[in-house]
Amino acid sequence: MSAGVLGKKRRRGEQDFYLQVTSLIDTLVIILVFMLMTIGTGSVNLEMASNIKLPWSTQGAELQTGVKIVAKLDGIYLDQEKIVPLNNALTVPGTTAEDGKKIVVLFQKLAAMAAASKSATDKSSVAKFEGKILFQADKAVPLKTIKQVMYTAARAGYNDFKFAVIKQ
């Protein structure tokens, strides 16, 4: 019989225990990669425009990157620049086309941005033009004005709208 450690006899069939760390590390790496891919996908922090009251909602979704349009009582803003003045939250006569559906200045700016974005994606082929709009509208702005902005953006190639709301 062979003697064990400190003079104790080893039992028959007893072996040393070795912890298999390799498979544990592989599993943890897979879980970590999955969490990073899930958590880090496209959420965006959107700064609320000043002097605006957003509507309330019980539902909400993560916002993604896109062109920011803000409709306030005094005007329509594109990336924090006032481009269309409004009178009592309605478009001023002479600033629209197509029977009052399309806002001309907004269309020109959005069409130029879409063309620049499309040409940049053609050259790099990394990301494609997605036509996303992040839309903040004061709840006092009438539906007519919101429809005009949406129609104009859609005509310029921006068909994916995300509305900013305050979640209850």
pLDDT in tens, 104-123: 999 999 999 888 888 877 66
Predicted local confidence at residue 133, as pLDDT: 87
86 plus 28 within the same structural domain: no
d(CA 132, CA 86): 24
33 plus 61 within the same structural domain: no
34 plus 64 within the same structural domain: no
Task: Read off the pLDDT band of 7 (50, 70, 90).
Answer: low
Predicted local confidence at residue 61, as pLDDT: 62
6 located within any domain: no
76 plus 124 within the same structural domain: yes
106 plus 134 within the same structural domain: yes
The pTM (predicted TM-score) of the whole model is 0.64
18 plus 77 within the same structural domain: no
Residue 148: CB partners within 8 Å, gap ≥ 6? 91, 96, 100, 101, 102, 103
User: What value does the mean pLDDT take over residues 76-85?
Assistant: 89
64 plus 118 within the same structural domain: yes
Q: Residue written as tokens 């902005």?
A: 149
62 plus 32 within the same structural domain: no
31 plus 86 within the same structural domain: no
Predicted local confidence at residue 163, as pLDDT: 81
88 plus 29 within the same structural domain: no
Task: Read off the pLDDT band of 60 (50, 70, 90).
Answer: low
Half-sphere exposure of 148 (CA within 13 A, CB side): 27
4 located within any domain: no
Q: For residue 35, what are the domain limits? A: 12-39
Distances from the Cα of 19 to the Cα of 23, 25, 26, 31, 101, angstroms: 10, 12, 14, 20, 71
Total domains in the fold of the chain = 2
